[in-house]
Structure 1
Amino acid sequence: MSGDDVRVTTAHLDELTVHQVRAAAEARSATLLADGVDAAVRSTHGVIASATAGAVSDIIAARRAAGMNIAAISDDLGQKLHEAARRYDHADDAMGRVMDGQVKPR
């Protein structure tokens, strides 16, 4: 890679931002899909399945925590990508002005 040019485009960073925001939303939605399963087990199986329903409750809580953590990480990455695009544009504009000041008009 040492001989390869690295190219940064804000459009690509913005695309990646959209993907991360979408991933966060989908993680949240998927996390909520299992809500209520423990209550359904209690309702359909009664007292005999209370230990199972309790275990399912614990699993759902762990699943919810993991899903929300994934969503938070995706949100954070999306914000960082957006900020990187903004900073890149700012640096590009600033250096463009510097170069414009160094080039003499004909």
Structure 2
Amino acid sequence: MLAVCEAAENISENHLKKMNELLKKMKIVAESGFKEEFTELDIADNSLLDKMWNMVNLGQWTFITANISKKSLAELAGRHELLFQSLKERDSEKASQYVKNHIEELCEEILTKVEDL
């Protein structure tokens, strides 16, 4: 959560602009139903996330959660709006809470799916 707090406090207008463009692309891809492209955009243009992606196969986890989620890709893409807005407002507390909620919600969906097996 420290990273998102730092981002909220130090994010540049250029980064906000890039994030906004990525969110728009995510929505378009989500409406098309392309899960592979959706997961790629989920971490696009972020070298730290890209390194983590490769180390822990985050792409596979994102793809898996997108497949098992009861939410549509458009709903999943929309969840990023709250994070974007909190970063734009430079509200580190909101951004941190949003990321925490996002991760917890994904974990609950995975656990529910496993329990259903």
* TM-score over 0.5 (shorter chain): no
Larger Rg: 1
Q: TM-score, normalised by structure 1?
A: 0.34
